[in-house]
Chain A
Amino acid sequence: MRGVASKLVATVAGAGFALGAVAAMAETPQAGGELNIVVGSKIPSYDAHIESTFGMIHPIRPFYSTLIRVNPDNPSSPTDFVCDVCEGDVPEGTDNGTTYTFKIRSGITFHDGKPLTAADVKATFDKIVFPPEGIASNRKAYFKMVESIEAPDDTTLVFKLKHPSGTFIPSVAMPFNFIYSKADLDAHGHTWHQTNINGSGPFRFVEHVQGSHVKGERNDNYYHEGKPYLDGYTALSAPKMSIRLQAIRGGRADIEFRGFPPKARDDLVAALGDKITVQESDWNCVLLVTPNHKTKPFDDPRVRRAMSLAVDRHGGSKYLSNIAIVKTVGGIVFPNHPLATPIDELKANIAGYSDDVAGSIEQAKALLAEAGQSDLKFTLLNRGVDQPYKVVGTWLIGQWRKAGMQVDQDVRPTTPFYASLRKQKDFDVSIDFNCQSIVNPIADVSKFLPTAGNNYASFEDAELEKIYDNLLRTANVDEQKILIRQYEKRVLNDLTSQMITLWWYKINPHRSYVKGWKIAPSHYLNQSLDNVWIDKEEKKRHGL
């Protein structure tokens, strides 16, 4: 009975998120207080231009500004971007979508007191887009369309593109594009920011104890008026999920930004009742099934198609969403984006998405028989991480068994798993994943390109490359929709080169006195903390 009650509370809290957001807007933010965050990953370095982990973003992002960002008041929208150090609206492309001119705010200063101008933003994007020889930049590939970056004066920044592009603005909004001081880059070189921090964000760096915590204090010179509300924050390192969960329960932490599984949410709600607020969202991460096309019989599209047909995604969503961080059925594009294919179209056009589960399984069996693989046996390579890898892997094996396939699961720790998937490529079929920060569908779906550096299916297909090339070069949304449908059908249905399982589902239970933070479709987004505030009366009610 208690379990049912807790689920009810959690569900109500989750469903009430939208209403809660409206209510939060009506509340007046209060200044002061310290926020304690728990973070489940380590900081490799402070340089966001080369890193890709939330273990760096969560503690370090609040020290920095970006040119534009997701709207912190509406982060659940995958298309709502606002200016950060620029002013006014995010610019539209001119010159047939090949020129973007940003006006940079005046009066912004770095934490060392030097002014931030367009020259600093140019130096930052030069480092990201055109890094000098021997300097790494993990997101250089997102800016292949950029021809030049100019800063004609202190408040103007101009990007010239080689061709119109639907990926440019979302790429600029990525939370990894920290703005660095040109003076720092000139004086200390391009690797200085790996071990030093000088930003212009809402908080100033205080200390970092490796493996323990990062501490930040309020930046009184922050350029968004009246913000940040907090006096400071501490990001506590806690690799074990149980510790992060108990830290929130035991009052040692107020919030965790990556997300918990449903059971953890229910446990917290059961323990603390209305002292916990739950925010939930679709998550821009998805587990894929990647068959090795170089290994027989996975070079046969009939076998791959049969594998996809055997998977009941709608049934899986219903049951797995109770125990794992997966939920939404979708195609290759993040389900809530305007470019995503509506579910009815997926059901009608893509193998494995139909509601007729029995019919799909019969089709799968027929395809396997036609390919001479009625007794297909293979090994699924999987990563030794429970949520959601092992849960989804075990579910897939059960699904495939219904169509007569016999599958073993080879679960390996992360390092050997990656070595097998990415380097040795000695697997039959593997779990793989695509997890991005900004929802940038045209860039995100490049994962399915045979020539993409992160596609491990080992195949070639000229048609897929051609569709994608056209997709990259159009800024027209209607054209993008048509091309992305063609691309998706080619990947998931005609070739079944890879398969989508279920999209992840993000669950963030936190102490109810934490206000102003809104969930985004990625754990990398909306982490500058300038909107976050502590409701002091509410905190007293918690006995803290």
Chain B
Amino acid sequence: MYSYIVKRVLMLFPTLLGAAIVVFLLLRLIPGDVCMLKFGGEGGYVDPEQIKMCQERLGISDSKIEQFVDYMIGFATLDLGVSMWTGQPVTEEIWIRFPLSLQIAIMATLTSVIIAIPLGVISAAKQNSMTDYLVRAFSIAGIAMPSFWLGILIILGLLIGTQAWSGVPWMPPVHYKSIFDDPAHNLSQLIWPALATGYRYSAVATRMTRSAMLEVLREDYVRTARAKGLIEQVIINKHALKNALLPVVTIIGIEFAFLMGGLVVTEQVFNLNGIGKLFVESVTQADYTLTQALVMLVVFIFVLVNFVVDLMYAWLDPRIRYS
């Protein structure tokens, strides 16, 4: 087990290196640079000398090889540099947004699990019944409906609904406060995007739970349990569900990793100052250092979550052993 963990940790380095090279090259393929955008983006006069000074200061005027060497040295020494747009350390820019993205990811994953597992189990247990059809329709609707679109509907629904009900339109707060500082403000802002994204991911997980449960419920040991006279609830909860959870855990793990950096549009819809919104801004502002750091962060999260999921397999299914 320990040698497996060491191997996986060592595999992390070539993965990160590969991602670093790819993102470096892809970013430089886009014409234009941050200085031209920063100082000339709004149509006023721009001093060409200022653009030149900015490019020299940020190293944009250096050759691509020099830039790559600098980037690799920074990468090796864990010095991610400063944002080319704000001049603030990249780690600080990310750290400000990290708690929000983490909270959304946790809340959305919890929403997804709370909805998906009971519905998937009920749907499988009552296969081809009206309940099954309703659950399937509910989950297909979730897959078909992009979470950002659901988010827009939620905001408009809140505005229109509260105005019709109380005469005063209400929408969720547009800036973040930590749950430890102001829980009411925090939850009234984040519960809506968590619902919008949680519903989307619950749909995928519901379908996965249902199909895994259907497979397990046809296994010999379930038939044996029924023959022994165990009640159905015990069969499902104690014997079938745990074995059906392997693929579901995989899906939830991937979703969680995706939520940490991939809520690009939903964060814009709800004006959430998270990693996804920062990603969009850094790319549109040609902020190479920040984009590179964000890609590395997301790669790291994906690798880490996959690793944790692999370890959970062993816990869920004792037959799986890593050696």
Contacts and interface: CB of A to CB of B under 8 A. Distances in A.
Given A42-B85, A212-B176, A138 B281 contact: no
Contacts of B18: none
Most chain A C-beta atoms within 10 Å of own C-beta, residue among B32, B40, B286:
B32
B47 to A, nearest CB: 5
Nearest to A437: B44
Interface in A413-442: 413-420, 422-424, 433-437
Given A250-B159, A415-B32, A453-B47, A211 B97 contact: yes
Interface in A103-117: none
A66 interface: no
A213 interface: yes
A420 B31 CA distance: 8
A38 interface: yes
Contacts of B277: 211, 239
A543 B168 CA distance: 6
Interface string B265-279: 000111101000110
A54 B42 CA distance: 8
Contact of A415 (B37, B96, B167): B37
A256 B174 CA distance: 14
B169 interface: yes
A454 B268 contact: no
A209 B278 CA distance: 13
Interface in B84-106: 85-88, 92-93, 96-97
B169 A271 contact: yes
B45 A212 contact: no
A233 to B, nearest CB: 13
Given A54-B42, A435-B44, A542-B168, A415 B174 contact: no
A424 B31 CA distance: 9
Given A52-B44, A419-B32, A239 B175 contact: no
A138 B47 contact: yes
B87 A194 contact: yes
A195 interface: yes
A247 B174 contact: yes
A54 B36 CA distance: 16
Contacts of A543: 166-168
A392 interface: no
Interface string B34-54: 001111111111111110011
Nearest to B162: A250
Nearest to A252: B174
Contact of B174 (A142, A243, A446, A542): A243
A433 B174 CA distance: 31
Contacts of B32: 414-419, 423
Contact of A453 (B48, B163, B270): B48
A211 B273 contact: yes
Nearest to A240: B268
B53 A285 contact: no
A361 interface: no
A53 B41 contact: yes
Contact of A138 (B50, B169, B285): B50
Given A136-B53, A211-B278, A237 B273 contact: yes
B41 A249 contact: no
Interface stretch (A17-25, A43-51, A74-82, A469-477): A43-51
Given A453-B47, A542-B168, A252 B173 contact: yes
A535 B92 CA distance: 39
A351 to B, nearest CB: 24
Given A141-B47, A413-B284, A453-B48, A195 B168 contact: no
Contacts of B42: 52-54, 435
Is the interface on chain B under 10, 10 to 19, 20 to 34, or 35 or more residues? 35 or more
A45 B44 contact: no
Given A140-B47, A247-B174, A413-B284, A454 B40 contact: yes
Most chain A C-beta atoms within 10 Å of own C-beta, residue among B40, B93, B269:
B40
Interface in B53-111: 53-54, 85-88, 92-93, 96-97
A240 B271 contact: yes
B64 to A, nearest CB: 16
Interface in A506-544: 542-544
A402 interface: no
Interface string A189-224: 000001100000000000001111100000000000
A238 interface: yes
A33 interface: no
Contacts of B270: 243
Contacts of B176: 212
B276 to A, nearest CB: 12
B155 interface: yes
B6 interface: no
B191 interface: no
B284 A415 contact: yes
Interface string A40-75: 001111000011111000000000000000000000
B246 to A, nearest CB: 39
Contacts of B166: 543
B44 A419 contact: no
Contacts of A435: 42-44
Contacts of B33: 415, 419
A137 interface: yes
A210 B37 contact: no
A251 interface: yes
A236 interface: yes
B171 interface: yes
Most chain B C-beta atoms within 10 Å of own C-beta, residue among A45, A136, A417:
A136
B170 interface: yes
Interface string B255-299: 000000000000011110100011001001110000000000000
Interface string A229-268: 0000010111110110011011111000000000000000
Nearest to B155: A246
B10 interface: no
Interface in A359-396: none
Interface of A: 38, 42-45, 50-54, 134, 136-142, 194-195, 209-213, 234, 236-240, 242-243, 246-247, 249-253, 271-272, 285, 413-420, 422-424, 433-437, 443, 446-447, 453-454, 542-544
Given A209-B273, A422-B36, 14 more contacts: A50-B39, A52-B44, A134-B53, A136-B50, A137-B47, A209-B175, A247-B171, A414-B32, A415-B36, A415-B37, A416-B31, A433-B43, A543-B166, A543-B167
- 4 shortest interchain CB distances as A-B pairs: A250-B171, A435-B43, A419-B32, A543-B168
